């Protein structure tokens, strides 16, 4: 039996994969190392969504390859040659091959490189797991998506949509709750197209999960806005359930319809405007999070202006900002690229506007009194979330998974601060 070190990067789905890899390792009789230097074998669950991220993965791979190494996640699937170049002896485990985890670890421990990149997992529901946060159950509901966005390398790694069955997911959520979780994240590559390949959809899944009789909260993960017109009416009803955090992450990417067309996003900027507007009208202080890419190859100054206008109009609470970078194997990588200095200038502009909006939106919460679920230990403080999934920090000591009534006294662009009132 060996000591195994596992580190993970990327989206919630990637962290969910790392929890399952660790669960399979422990189930297989191995133990977990506290540090790579203490390990017999290292596992890195990679993300390759952006150039900067891929560079960081390569840096980590170089540091971890002094021991037997398994490179998992999106990078080995999207850029096999890149991983082989920097760590030719490393074994490779794809994001949809988790069932092969033990086989690949034991082969690598014996000094035999093994490659498992085929999509062999029928489902990821019901696998053993070691949670990164005991209060939060990250439940993958599907893998892959139904889009062909021209900038996206994740599509190469995760492939076509494969939704897991509603019944299996409900069973998994019950397991998470039985194991002590008070918060459930329903996550996948694109929640918007969940179930469209198996004759169901996201609102139906949410309704089934919400029916579970227990005191827990649900966070619905990222969804491409292109599916909103199709599911919005039902989704609004599903969100009426008090278990649902009044929060949605809807990556719009650009305010220019021409750029969205060149990105093959399948939606217009108005779909995002309308969706954030409708949810905010229905639910008081609903939190809208979005992603913006600046510097996409075909983005002109005028297109960029349309993105700024859309941001000013919709005032998203959170903007995850990316500078476009050409990812290997994507269609956009073959387009004429924009000067990097222009991309940096545009990203600085969006960053300043986004910071100002986040700060002003959080200021609106000063004086608010209400319930907070404390769900995350960060350093020596414990962070909570209110009904709108706003991060709340208090000075008082609170137990993980507990709920307390809090009064908000201060806000920054990152979150809310307050004290417990009952």
Q: Which is nearer to ligand SF4, 72 or 392 (CB)?
A: 72
CB 26 within 8 A of CB 130: yes
Task: Kindly give the pairing relationship between strand 41-46 and strand 69-73.
Answer: parallel
Which of 30, 155, 246, 323 touches ligand SF4 (CB under 6 A)? 155
| CA dist list (Å): 55 to 71, 394, 404 | 14, 36, 42
> What residues numbered 207-266 form the site for ligand SF4, per CB under 6 A?
224
Q: Which residue, 256 or 386, is less far from ligand SF4 as judged by CB?
A: 256
Q: Does 149 bind ligand SF4 (CB under 6 A)?
A: yes
Window of 27-35, 50-58, 150-158, 207-215 that interacts with ligand SF4 by CB under 6 A: 150-158
Cβ atoms of 25 and 4 closer than 8 Å: yes
Task: In angstroms, give the least distance from the CB of 111 to ligand SF4.
Answer: 36
Q: Quick one: tokens of 146?
A: 């139904």
Do residues 269 and 306 lie in contact, with contact meaning Cβ atoms separated by under 8 Å? Answer: yes
Q: Pick the stretch among 89-97, 146-154, 172-180, 414-422 that binds ligand SF4 (CB under 6 A).
A: 146-154
Is residue 145 a contact residue for ligand SF4 (CB under 6 A)? Answer: yes
**Two structure tokens written together for 26:** 């422990």
Q: Contact between 92 and ligand SF4 (CB under 6 A)?
A: no
Neighbours of 306 (CB within 10 A): 19
Determine the straight-line distance between the first and last CA of the chain, rounded to whole angstroms: 49
The Cα 61–Cα 119 span in angstroms is 23
Collect all residues with Cβ–Cβ distance below 8 Å to 134 and sequence separation of at least 6: 179, 180, 181, 400, 401
Nearer to ligand SF4, 75 or 416 (CB): 75
Compare residues 152 and 271 and give the one whose CB is closer to ligand SF4. Answer: 152
Q: CB-wise, 154 or 358, nearer to ligand SF4?
A: 154
**Is residue 143 near ligand SF4 by the rule CB under 6 A?**
no
The answer to whether residues 327 and 287 touch, using CB atoms and an 8 Å cutoff, is no
Q: Per rule CB under 6 A, is residue 19 in the interface with ligand SF4?
A: no
Burial 190-227 (b: 16+ CB within 10 A, else e): bbbbbbbeeeebbbbbbebbbeeeeebbbbbbbbbbbb
Q: At what angle do helices 228-238 and 269-282 cross, to 10 degrees?
A: 10
User: Does residue 14 belong to the site contacting ligand SF4 (CB under 6 A)?
Assistant: no
Give me the 389-408 binding string for ligand SF4, x by CB under 6 A, dash otherwise. Answer: --------------------
CB of 289 to ligand SF4, least distance (A): 15
Strand bridging mode 369-378 / 381-385: antiparallel
| Binding residues with ligand SF4: total (CB under 6 A) | 9
- Is residue 293 near ligand SF4 by the rule CB under 6 A? no
Question: Measured from the CB of residue 86, what is the shortest distance to ligand SF4 in angstroms?
Answer: 24
Smallest distance, ligand SF4 to C-beta of residue 393, A: 31
- Contact between 91 and 69 under an 8 Å Cβ cutoff? The reply is yes
Task: Please identify, using beta-carbon distances, which residue of 155 and 383 lies nearer to ligand SF4.
Answer: 155
Instruction: Report, in Å, the least distance between residue 82 CB and ligand SF4.
Output: 19
Our finding on whether 77 is near ligand SF4 (CB under 6 A) is no
Segment (H or E) for 115: strand 115-116
Q: Are 11 and 222 in contact (CB under 8 A)?
A: yes
By CB under 6 A, tell whether 154 contacts ligand SF4.
yes
Q: Is 142 in the site for ligand SF4 (CB under 6 A)?
A: no
Side by side, which strands form the sheet with 247-249? Answer: 247-249, 287-294, 318-323
- Restricted to residues 178-207, the positions that interact with ligand SF4 (CB under 6 A) are 189-190
Q: Which residues bind ligand SF4 (CB under 6 A)?
A: 145, 147, 149, 152, 154-155, 189-190, 224
């Amino acid at each position: 039996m060996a000591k195994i070190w596992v580190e993970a990067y990327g989206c919630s789905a990637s962290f969910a994969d790392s929890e399952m890899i660790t669960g399979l390792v422990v189930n297989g009789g191995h133990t977990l190392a506290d540090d790579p230097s203490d390990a017999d074998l290292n596992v890195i669950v990679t993300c390759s969504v952006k150039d900067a991220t891929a560079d960081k993965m390569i840096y980590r791979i170089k540091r971890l390859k002094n021991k037997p190494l398994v490179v998992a996640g999106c990078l080995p699937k999207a850029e096999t040659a890149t991983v082989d170049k920097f760590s030719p002896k490393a074994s490779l485990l794809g994001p949809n091959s988790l069932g092969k985890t033990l086989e690949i670890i034991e082969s690598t421990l014996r000094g035999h490189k093994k490659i498992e990149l085929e999509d062999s997992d029928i489902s990821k529901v019901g696998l053993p797991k070691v949670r990164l946060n005991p209060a939060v159950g990250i439940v993958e509901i599907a893998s892959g998506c139904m889009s062909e966005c021209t900038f996206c390398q994740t599509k190469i790694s995760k492939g076509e949509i494969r939704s897991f069955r509603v019944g299996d997911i409900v069973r998994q959520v019950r397991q998470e709750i039985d194991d002590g979780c008070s918060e459930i994240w329903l996550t996948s590559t694109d929640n918007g197209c969940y179930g469209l390949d198996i004759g169901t959809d996201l609102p139906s899944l949410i309704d089934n999960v919400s029916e579970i009789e227990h005191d827990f909260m649900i966070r619905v993960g990222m969804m491409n806005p292109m599916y909103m017109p199709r599911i919005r009416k039902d989704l609004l009803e599903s969100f009426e359930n008090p278990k649902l955090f009044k929060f949605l992450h809807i990556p719009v990417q650009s305010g220019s319809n021409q750029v969205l067309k060149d990105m093959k996003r399948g939606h217009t900027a108005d779909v995002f405007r309308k969706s954030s507007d409708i949810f905010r009208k229905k639910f008081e202080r609903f939190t809208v999070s979005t992603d913006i890419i600046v510097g996409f190859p075909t983005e002109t100054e005028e297109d960029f202006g349309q993105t700024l206008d859309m941001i000013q109009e919709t005032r998203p609470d959170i903007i995850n900002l990316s500078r476009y970078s050409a990812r290997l194997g994507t269609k956009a990588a073959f387009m004429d690229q924009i000067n990097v200095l222009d991309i940096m200038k545009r990203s600085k502009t969006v960053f300043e506007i986004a910071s100002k909006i986040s700060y002003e939106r959080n200021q609106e919460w000063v004086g608010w009194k209400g319930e907070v679920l404390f769900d995350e230990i960060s350093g020596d403080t414990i962070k909570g979330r209110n009904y709108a999934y706003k991060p709340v920090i208090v000075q008082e000591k609170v137990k993980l998974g507990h709920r307390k009534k809090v009064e908000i006294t201060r806000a920054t662009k990152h979150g809310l601060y307050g004290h417990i009132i009952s």
